[in-house]
Each structure stands twice: as C-alpha cells, then as structure tokens.
Amino acid sequence: MAPVQKSISPRAWAELFLLSLIWGGSFLSVHVALEEIGPLTAVAHRTGWAMLILWAYVIIRRLDIPKDPVVWFGFLGMGLLNNVIPFSLMAWGQLHIETGLTSILNASTAIFGVIAAALFFADEQLTPRKAIGVSVGFFGVCTAIGLGAFKDFDIRSLGQLAVIGGTISYALAGVWARKRLGHLRPQVAAAGMLTGASLITLPVAWVIEGPISLDLHLQTWGAISYYAIVATAVAYMLYYRVLGMVGSGNLMLVTLGVAPVAIILGALVLGEALPLNAYAGFALLACGLVILDGRTFKALQHRAGRA
C-alpha cells in the first residue's frame, strides 16, 4: 500500500520556503568562492567546517556515536556519493555555466532518484505515473542543456554534463543511505557523512590544488561561511526537521523553490541572463516533479468523481 502523504501546515510551508532560500543562495556563494579558490578546495572547506559544526551539535545533544567499522565505511561511501562527487562536479561546472543553469540542472536530482530507487529496491517500482514524470523531467533536462550542446560539444557542454553527473551521484547516495545508514539518527548520519567526505576532499584538494590556505579575501570567507555553515550544516538539520514534519514526498517541493531563488540571485548579483531553453527546460522539469508528486492527479480524479 502506498504511504499516505502528509499535509503541510503553515509552519511547514514557511520552513520549506526557508530551506529553498538557503539552498538557492548556495549557488551564488560557491560562485563567489571560486573567484579565489579552486573547486576541490571549495568543497574541502564546505565539508570540513560543516563537519565540525555537526559533530559539536551531536556532542552537545549527547547523541550516540557509532563505533562499528561497518557504519564508518557507510559514512565514507555516503560522503563520496553525496558530497565529494556532486559538490566537486557542480563546483567545476559552475566555472563554465551560469549559477542559475546549475540550479536548474540540479533540480533533476529527484528524477534520477526515482530511477535509482526503481533499479535497486523492489518496493520502489516505476509505476506508469512515475514513468511519465521521469520522461517529462528527463526531456526537461535535455531542453535546458539544449540540442546545440550535443552538436557543438565544448567546455560549456562539459560543464553542464558535470552538473548532471553530480545529480546522478546524489541519486545513488539516496540508495546508499537507505541500505547502509537508515538506522541512524539523521544528525549523526550527516556528521559521519561529512567526516567521510572530509577524509577524501582534504588530501585530494591539497595534492591537486595545493595547500589549503586560510589567508583569503573577506568576501571569500563570507561565501565559505554561507555555503559551509548555513547551506550545509544548518540546512541539513533544517532538512531533517522539515522531513519529519511533511514527509519525503512533500519535501520534493524544495527542489522547485531552489532554482528560482538561484536564478534571481544570479541575475541581480552577477548579471546573468539565461537562454530561453533553460527556462523551458525548468518548466518541463517542474511538470515532471509535479507528476511524480502525484497530488495534482489525485485532486483531478477526486473532482471528476464528484462531478
């Protein structure tokens, strides 16, 4: 039997909107940081500072810290799939495409998440409605990228594909989390995940981009503080709070709110102007997510039944 979708209270709507604002602003802050530091160093800062904050929270709340090596292996894998790979690919992609377009392509995470779940879990079958939603969403991704990107392949095309690669990694992370970390407290799982990510990003960034310097411009530190503390550590805690209030199905609505925020900030602060196909692609992606959500169809069926 399909799970009952929770209703959304005014307070939950407010926190969903806040989470959309926070994550929407992360694309701009990453762009600012990349003006001085490399993408791998930017990711190392993000995972490292967020890790310290979340472990401080775990210790203050006296939450149980796992000691099983198998769990810590799970943290390492989750950190790789949910932080290292997607953060790095998207940061590198932002060197070559607009922040707004990055956020639009990032919205495809839910589409690939449905596909990954259907491939790995028997109880997450691809129903006809989900198949339609995935198809529409995938067509939206192709529209946002543009057919010209496949015809005249260049560094911009590669940047877009890097972002898509990050969303696929996010989708696989959802599978990994369910298989390996589903029994843990969310805050502990997030802290452990960021620890696993930091164990990878710190040495890799050091080797590839050089020693990680703390002597940075004030605006760079401001950007790092935002995307590491607010958009990662605080956002993870808010994410799990909202998840408990509205359920995973409703939480998909955050994806629809993030891209408009990033697009507006990119236009106002960076003077970005996206091509029309990017907006058309986002509209199709949004339609795909609405179809996956399912409530619109249920409402129409209910009205038809009453007619």
Domain ranges of the chain: 12-306
pLDDT in tens, 198-253: 999 999 999 999 999 999 999 999 999 999 999 999 998 888 888 777 666 666 67
The token duo for 3 is 């799970």
pLDDT of 5 strictly over 70: no
Is it the case that residue 25 has pLDDT exceeding 80?
A: yes
* Helix ranges (DSSP H) in the chain: 10-33, 39-60, 69-79, 85-94, 99-106, 109-120, 128-145, 147-151, 155-180, 186-209, 218-225, 235-251, 253-270, 276-293, 295-306
The SS3 assignment for 4 reads: coil
pTM above 0.85, yes or no: yes
Contact, 78 vs 181, CB < 8 A? yes
pLDDT of 272 strictly over 70: yes
The per-residue pLDDT for range 105-153, each reduced to its tens digit, is: 999 988 998 899 889 988 888 889 889 999 999 999 999 988 776 677 8
pLDDT at residue 60 tops 70 = yes
Q: What is the share, in percent, of the chain residues with pLDDT greater than 90?
A: 66
pLDDT at 302: 56
More confident residue, 67 or 151: 67
d(CA 220, CA 227): 11
Structure tokens at 158: 């590669």
